[in-house]
Amino acid sequence: MTKQEILDLSFLDARHKLIEIAAFLDRVGRAEGGADFRLKAFRAALGELTGTETGLAKKVLLVFSDPTSEPIPAATTKTACGAWPGEKQSSL
């Protein structure tokens, strides 16, 4: 497909998702209290999108990923939360 064809096929869908992201950040901004590591990770991931190179989806996923290599001592939870909390919290 050409760039034009991809824009014709997917622009409105991507535009909708971008507005949802903006609305989510507005919602967080309006709310009281502090945020946690997830918001910091989210903003860092957004920062990856300003370039024009390829591999952006991979870069976003890597921003959210645990960068370490060794197994953790024990699993204290069953679920993932979407962003890596950092070394100290993940080993609790």
Partner 1 sequence: MVSRVTDDYRDMAAAGCVAICEPAFWAGFDRSSAQGFHDYFRQISEYEPRRAAKFGLAHFCWLCINPKESENVKLAEEVLAIIPQFVDRPTVLGLGEIGLNKNSRNELKVLEMHIDLAAKHDLLILAHTPHLEDKRKGTQLTISALQNNRRIRPERVIIDHVEEHTIEMVLNAGFWAGMTLYPGTKCTSSRAVDMIETYGAGRLWMNSACDWGDSVPLAIPYAALEMRKRGHSAEQIDGLIYHNPKNFLSQCPKFKLPQS
- Contact set with partner 1 (CB under 8 A): 1, 9-10, 55, 57-58, 61-62, 64-69, 71-84
Distance CA 39, CA 16 (A): 21
Q: Which is nearer to partner 1, 52 or 76 (CB)?
A: 76
Shortest Å, Cβ 68 to partner 1: 6
Distance CA 60, CA 49 (A): 8
Shortest Å, Cβ 32 to partner 1: 27
Got the DSSP string for 8-70? HHHHHHHHHHHHHHHHHHHHHHHS-S---HHHHHHHHHHHGGGS-SS-HHHHHHHHHS----S
Please say whether the beta carbons of 41 and 83 come within 8 A.
yes
Q: Which is nearer to partner 1, 16 or 30 (CB)?
A: 16
Shortest Å, Cβ 7 to partner 1: 13
Q: Which is nearer to partner 1, 12 or 65 (CB)?
A: 65
Shortest Å, Cβ 36 to partner 1: 13
